[in-house]
Chain A
């Protein structure tokens, strides 16, 4: 039976030291497990979308099992859609994974011009996400709330295809909507800070799949995302929130020079898809913790040896990063991943991830 070396820090001590830029004993592990954790506990993988208590409990226990660093988030999925009056589909199929947009909040240009920021506090998944944060606070996890990215959130409000078309045909309208998304995300942040009064305990989350260069160009990113993302992050930082978790999802190599201009945190935690090499990530974000980035499909369908080898490569690259590194999958952990493959990531940390 494999026995790991004795840790010199608890998961909490290690994570806190990492964010304080202090030395740590080994590379931390983040299982990225909002959908994976419920499966470990025998729940539906979608439990977190309807029951924050069970969802959070599953994450805590999964972290216990894999020595995961104490950070959890409710991704919110398509939450802006319902806040602005659209409809989402809560997944039920065994092949589904996330909440998806069923009907956008606006269909026409005229309606988009008239769209206003509603009172967010009781709408859509906000109460569920707030309950999730109450549990984070209660159990000593950093409090997270869902933030950007601008274009990902806008895609959930008007639909990604329409957003793409309007970026070229009606740029002034898209700029107006991006500003509305800024106001929305800032009001979410204000609600969380007002509720918990401890911005220093908060690490909000940004997931950015729609910004990927599989969809838009870096020029479009620079025009429609960069200025607004900067504004949101600066306002969040001005509230006293020190760290922001940003998942730069998918193929975004061309966007990295722009992401690097955004105030990600002190330090921010910047997570990457497997499409971005960690050496490249390190170059663009020297002052932030970088995280990643085992290809999720390999964790789900690959052999344990393949997961172990990819983990070794990631750890050896990530360990060189001056501001610290967290090993994780390159996006949400696929809920059907064999637990043994996930354990191989943890084993690779024990074999290659020590700083001392």
Chain B
């Protein structure tokens, strides 16, 4: 193990800003990509459901 304390770990030998700045933005961007895609899928499904209902009503 490289670290003797949590504060030493977070300091990253003085490179904390750079290391954590890289990690946090990477995780955040990939998470946002996932959330946006989940929303896009819901929107597409809602649109299709609406059309399906409409079709059924017209077919009556």
B is a partner of A: no
Interface residues of A (CB under 8 A from B): none
Interface residues of B (CB under 8 A from A): none
